[in-house]
Amino acid sequence: MGVLLELVDLTRTYRVGMEDVHALAGVSLRIEEGEYVAIMGPSGSGKSTLMNIVGCLDTPTSGVYRLKEREVSSLADDELARVRNEEIGFVFQTFNLLARADSLHNVELPLIYAGVPPAERRHRAEEALASVGLADRMKHKPNELSGGQRQRVAIARALVNRPSLLLADEPTGNLDTRTGEEIMALFGQISASGRSIIVVTHEEDVAARSRRIVRLRDGKIESDLVVAPGQHTRAAGG
């Protein structure tokens, strides 16, 4: 297995009024291909900023970000869009499906921007939906689906263009406990299939499903622990 991504002394500074806010103050992290990592931290710890940079939605103020051995810290907007399209699958807390479009069309979106021809697009979207157990919900619109089903559509969308990394932001935050469990079980399957996963969460239960927990505080890595498989531990607190 190779290195999936490498962050070297990453900083991200926002200017709020007259003051500089250091959301990330020197983060170095290395994640191998196939890893299942949880990023945790209280609000204001910089975990959202880290997620945005890892997801290529934002660029660091200084430092280096290499994704699959490619330096992506200073790419232009459209190049970042290309990287997001090919390498990263996003799963959001609020699902972020297009309300007007049915499941199939929602899942097709990344393929549209990848320039995949319509017939193949449709075929791959159908496959992705079937793989998350929604073969019978292709023509349903988001408001005709339950929360769990919506998140499954979002996961199908995240995986449809075969990204290197599945990046999830509080994926169970809007779901009840049981449905959340189901979604996390699905994440387990996806991880078992070899896909790299990073989950940003503040829920210990969710983090405990991963193999490695990275905790942030005040823009720095506070701890970075490997979790034994299946072990629901309260990892080192702070």
Partner 1 sequence: MAIDFKESTGIAFQALRANKLRSLLTLLGTIIGVTAVIAVISLVQGMNQYVSGKLLAQGSNVFWIDKIGFEMDNEKIREALKRPDLRLSDADGLADALGNKAYVKAEASTNSEIRYLAHKMQRIEVKGVYGQFQQVDDQEIANGRPLADLDVQRRRSVAVIGSEVAEELYPGLDPVGHAIQIGNRGFVVVGVAKKKGSFFGESQDRYVQVPFGALLKLVPQTPSVTIGVKSVDAGKFQQIQDEARAVMRAIRHNRPGQPDSFGITTPEAFLGLWRNFTATAFIVVIGVAAISLLVGGIVIMNTMLVSVTERTREIGVRKALGARRGDIMLQFLVEAVVLSLVGGALGVALGSSIALLVGLVSPLPAAVSGVAVGLGVAMSAMVGVFFGVYPAARAAGLDPVDALRYE
Task: Render the burial of 102-116: b for 16+ CB within 10 Å, e for the rest.
Answer: bbbbbbbbbbeeeeb
C-alpha Rg value of the chain to the nearest Å: 18
The type of residue at 11 is T
Asked if 64 is part of the footprint of partner 1 (rule: CB under 8 A), the reply reads: no
Asked if 138 is part of the footprint of partner 1 (rule: CB under 8 A), the reply reads: no
Stretch that binds partner 1, among 27-35, 89-97, 173-181, 201-209 (CB under 8 A): 89-97
Asked if 136 is part of the footprint of partner 1 (rule: CB under 8 A), the reply reads: no
Number of residues that bind partner 1 (CB under 8 A): 26
Q: Are 26 and 62 in contact (CB under 8 A)?
A: no
Given 85, 172, 191, 210, the residue binding partner 1 (CB under 8 A): 85
Within positions 92 to 131, which residues make up the interface with partner 1, using CB under 8 A? 92, 96, 98, 100-101, 105, 109-110, 112-115
How far is Cα 102 from Cα 98, in angstroms, rounded to an integer? Answer: 8
Q: Are 19 and 212 in contact (CB under 8 A)?
A: no
Asked if 219 is part of the footprint of partner 1 (rule: CB under 8 A), the reply reads: no
Q: How far is the CB of 110 from partner 1 (least distance, A)?
A: 5
Asked if 153 is part of the footprint of partner 1 (rule: CB under 8 A), the reply reads: no
Within positions 155 to 214, which residues make up the interface with partner 1, using CB under 8 A? 157, 161
H runs (alpha helix) in the chain: 47-54, 77-87, 103-114, 118-131, 147-159, 177-192, 204-208
The upper half-sphere exposure of residue 93, i.e. CA atoms within 13 Å in the direction of its Cβ, equals: 10
Residues in contact with partner 1 by CB under 8 A are 52, 55, 57-58, 77-78, 81-82, 84-86, 90, 92, 96, 98, 100-101, 105, 109-110, 112-115, 157, 161
